[in-house]
Structure 1
Amino acid sequence: MFEVVVTACIALASEGGEPACRDMLLANYEAPTQAECEAQLPELSKAYEEPRCAPVGPALEMTEIAQGVFAHLGRIEEPDTDNRGDVANLGFIVGQDSVAVIDTGSARWIGETLWRAIRQQTDKPVSHVILTHMHPDHVLGTDAFSTTAAQVASHAALPRALADRQANYAESLTRLIGPTFIGSTAPKPDITVPPDTPMQIDLGGRTLTLHAWPVAHTGNDLTVLDEATGTLFTGDLVFHTHTPALDGSVLGWLDVLDQLQKWEVSRIVPGHGGPVLDWPQGAEDQRRYLETLRDDTRAAIARGTRLGEAVTTIAESEADKWQLFEAYNPRNATVAFTELEWE
């Protein structure tokens, strides 16, 4: 098999302004032979500079966790040049007519390898790319699907939230993962789902229900339920092993967990860890952490403890139960303190 690629370059400040380049996949232009691949190039050259054919590159590792439902386990790490930003769980679901992708990773290269993983399973078109929330490790690979007919779906609040943060996200990930970030851009959703007004997507004999939630992990969390298998993609509303990251409301997050844990589903795919958890027990560790974060924060405020001191002690009893605790817990404590001091 062959695929069409183009070369993209940027000047990296860390390299003294010297350009760094990488080949980017143009999805949906694969062909079984080089000759058939090259037959597409004259038309593509009208939109892209010097497209060329190359042997198909590596695919993202996926596990079929239910019939037609595939999940990728991201590393429990901070993005760096070794993991190249592969730090979040992603997935796709295959219907009779088309495929839906759930989250796309930190960079375009991850989205490209996700596309190849889909092509290893089916030649059906990707009709939807569904984003579970605004954080860059879940959305910045979306541009890999820009040469397909896929529509991008998200929570109604995601476009504004992402627009406000995209420059900072791009600067941070360029610094953290280097040239592998080339070609990554913030997505612009075509379909948005308002809170508490579920939307359904038909993949052909397979219905996905998208539910947008009030402020919880972030202000734009969205879940995806595959009705056929009872598989729920929670995004970062559920963390496993990885310390939860609070970028919204600790009280709101606990309220959403209360609702989700009443749902009768067969399994969930969390945003980090797993990649498959039983339900509702799969959220119990996170519930304990969030309740500890809430209760310790309230106690510190009641004692009159200043924020700078409080963040060093809030939820410290959870330190040995989570990975990346020192990276995330102080931030969580700061967000919780800022929220709860006005109760």
Structure 2
Amino acid sequence: MSRFVVVLVALVWLPIIQADLRYQLELVEIAPNTWMVEGKTENFSTKNGGNIVNTAFIVTDAGVVVIDTGPSLRYGDALHDAIRGITDQPVTLVMLTHHHPDHVFGSQAFPEQALAALPETRAMLEASGDDFAENMYRMVGDWMRGTEVRLPTRELQPGPLTVGDHEFQLYRFTGHTGADLVVLDKTTGTLFASDMVFFDRALTTPQSLGLDVWKEELAVLSEIEFERLVPGHGPLVTDGQAFAQMRDYMTWLETLFTESAAQGLTLNEVMNAPIPERFAGVAEARYELIRTTTHLYPRYERAALSMLPVE
């Protein structure tokens, strides 16, 4: 009798476990033949499965163009299934905007010959991919089951790109990781800014070249004409408010770090600095202040020390 109960429980419980590990992706058509999947403005967790990133795809008459593949094989499978629910066109190009795991670890679900990225992105993913994977398994657990690093096989370069009836313009920036692809679909006026732009979500800086570099490039990026902008994290925007928020947020960080270093404040003191009320709607601001202080504050301390008079 007890054996029957154990077996029955196992049979009932297994589908529940499996159902919990299915991404519920919601597609939103943001322009003709153009769909976005908006991620949560959260940190990686076993609850969200790493679904914190925006992905997108465009259906052209020469196949589907995918922009980023999500954080895991399971996510990639769910995204690919969603694409099949929209069109019979095959996926012919997958543009990976940078090497961070939430943007590229769903690539196993797509044709290997379709995977494309900037050459620097491929090199960084090859160098850091296994470490990223180990960390992702640690943070999101079984959602990562079966996920392995898949390197892009095609090289992208800045400039024009035609795919069927869509004309794209590709841009290479460096502020977020050192190799950051931004894609403008000139046919619909949709700008896929990836993690060069965060909106209503605090920016991340583990591989940033620096806030000064990022701000300069953001000014260049903001000059591109668009009808709608898909940030790497956060909701779709149709005006310049994401750029304004990014500039304001980065200026605050720069001022905080510069003044704190001049005063000789410690890392811990900077991490616990008050966050301006105007950023109350920016998700994970405290968490990312702690991380960004760790990543970038030592540079400001060195700069402050270099200004001291030599006796």
* Alpha-carbon distance in structure 2 between the residues aligned to 1:80 and 1:279: 31
- Aligned-residue identity in percent: 31
Higher mean alpha-carbon deviation, 104-113 vs 151-160, is at 151-160
Is 1:262 the counterpart of 2:223 in the alignment? yes
2:213 partner letter: G
Deviates more, 1:59-68 or 1:306-315: 306-315
Shift of 1:73: 0.7
Task: For 1:1-343, list aligned pairs within 5 A.
Answer: 60-145=25-110, 148=111, 150-193=113-156, 198-214=158-174, 216-247=175-206, 248=208, 249-274=210-235, 276-313=236-273, 320-343=280-303
Q: Is the 8 A contact 1:127 1:149 kept in 2?
A: no
* TM-score scaled by length of structure 2: 0.84
How far 1:125 moved relative to its partner? 1.5
Compare the two structures and name the one with the higher strand fraction. Answer: 1
Q: Which amino acid aligns with 1:172?
A: N
Is the 1:22–1:180 Cα contact (8 Å) retained in structure 2?
no
1:316 Cα deviation from its structure 2 partner: 5.5
Partner Cα distance (2:239, 2:63) in 1: 28
Secondary structure (helix, strand or coil) at the match of 1:210 reads: strand
Corresponding residue SS for 2:247: helix
Q: Aligned with 2:248: secondary structure? A: helix
Question: What is the rounded CA distance, in whole Å, between the counterparts of 1:189 and 1:177 in structure 2?
Answer: 24
Aligned equivalent of 2:306: none
Report the 3-state secondary structure (helix = DSSP H, G, I; strand = E; otherwise coil) of the residue aligned with 1:321. Answer: coil
Q: CA deviation at 1:187?
A: 2.5
Encode CA deviations 1:11-67: one digit per residue, 9 max, x unaligned: xxxxxxxxxx989xxxxxxxxxxxxxxxxxxxxxxxxxxxxxxxxx98732111001
Q: Relative to total residues, which structure has the larger helix share, 1 or 2?
A: 2
Following superposition, the deviation at residue 337 of structure 1 comes to 1.6
Partner of 1:47: none
Opposite residue 41 of structure 2, the aligned amino acid is: I
Q: Which amino acid aligns with 2:223?
A: K
Paired amino acid for 1:223: V
State the distance in 1 between where 2:293 and 2:72 align.
Answer: 29
Larger CA deviation: 242-251 vs 318-327: 318-327
Inter-CA distance 127–142: structure 2 relative to 1 (3 Å threshold): same
Task: Name the CA distance, whole Å, in 1 between partners of 2:179 and 2:198.
Answer: 16
2:12 — aligned with what? Answer: none
Structure 1 residue 280: Cα displacement: 2.3
Aligned residues: 283
User: Distance between the aligned counterparts of 2:192 and 2:238, measured in 1?
Assistant: 12
1:245 is aligned with what amino acid?
T
Structure 1's unaligned 5+ residue stretches are 1-20, 24-56
More divergent stretch after superposition (175-184 vs 69-78): 175-184
Hey, what's the Cα distance between the residues in 1 that align with 2:278 and 2:262?
A: 21
